[in-house]
Every structure is written in structure tokens, then in C-alpha cells.
Amino acid sequence: MADSNFDRAVVFVVEHNEAGAVGLVLNDPREEYLGQALPIWAESRFADCTLFSGGPVDPLTSMALGEFRGNQDDSESLLFANIGVIDLGSGPNSIPDRVVNFRPYLGYSGWGSMQLEAELAANAWFVVEVHPDDIFGDGEIDLWSKVLRRQSSPVSWLSNYPSDPRLN
């Protein structure tokens, strides 16, 4: 991918339909915390969560991914494995106590109608299954290599590929 915004990026696609796709870059931590960037969250239990850049589109948009424990409430729209999107604009009081893992994002990754399909047809992306540890794992781990390493196909061989092969 020639776009530096996606160099070794692990993108979780949140929604994909005929209008396009929306995703979040899982491995681009910022150097600030949620409570610093969004003062409404400064006194919340999630104030010290590292903020991540979800992508290059609309960096003022904020959302989070949360892991919910227990049974699903009718008002929650889960994506997979008890993980759902949380609107940070609703404020900390809207977050149920059932949220045990929380990852906040500013910005997102977006594709127009058929744009992602064209990039997939050009082999610009590896499509792999997501695991909850990808979303809530340690931000210090090289997530790109970790995700590739667990694949059973030859794509796993790329997990050790240097970021600059000229320096190899």
C-alpha cells in the first residue's frame, strides 16, 4: 500500500456494505490519554486509556471499541465476541459497568462504495480473522507481525519481514 497511513496497519473493519466501509487502525497509539484529549472523560474510569488514531478520516470523530461481559442488552449492537462500538460523544455515564475492556479512537479509516473491493482485488490487503486480543492487546507489541504470524497460510512468512528491507 503506497499510503503511509496504512504502513503495517492492522485495520478492523467495523462496517462494510454497498455504501462503503468503515474501519479502525488497531495499532496506531497516540501519545495522549482519553481524559487529556476529551475533557468530558477526564474523571471517568477510562481517563487513562491510551488514545489511538483510528485512521486518516475525520480526526475529530471519536469512538471506542468495548468488550461487554455477560448477556447482551437489546440496546447494544455487538460486532463479534461481545465486542461493540461505543460512541464517545455520549459521555462516560452512558458506558455500562459491563464494559471491561475499552479502546478509544480519534478518526477512522473509510472507503467509498466499491473502493475497498478494488483494493482487495489489487491484493493491497491481507484479509484475516480478527481475535479479541488484536483489539485489546498490549499496544507495545508489533500487532502486524503477531497477526500475520498466527496465519496458517504462507502469509505467515511475512511476519518477520523488515520494515525497510534495504537494512536487512
Query: What are the residue boundaries of the structural domains of the chain, listed by start?
Result: 4-138
pTM of the model: 0.88
- Among the listed ranges 15-24, 43-52, 125-134, which one has the minimum average pLDDT value? 125-134
pLDDT, residue 94, reads 87
DSSP 102: E
- Return the closest-CA partner of residue 82 out of 132, 125, 24, 27: 132
Give residue 103's identity as a one-letter amino acid code. Answer: R
pLDDT, residue 39, reads 93
The pLDDT-based confidence of 78 (bands split at 50, 70, 90) is: confident
Q: Cβ–Cβ contacts within 10 Å for residue 12, how many?
A: 19
Q: What's the rounded Cα separation, in Å, for the pair 83 and 72?
A: 10
Overall average pLDDT of the 73-79 stretch: 65
CATH number of 4-138: 3.40.1740.10
Quick: pLDDT tens for 21-32: 999 999 999 999
Do residues 63 and 85 lie in contact, with contact meaning Cβ atoms separated by under 8 Å?
A: yes
Quick: pLDDT tens for 97-120: 889 999 999 999 999 999 999 999
Give percent of the chain with pLDDT exceeding 90. 53
pLDDT, residue 72, reads 64
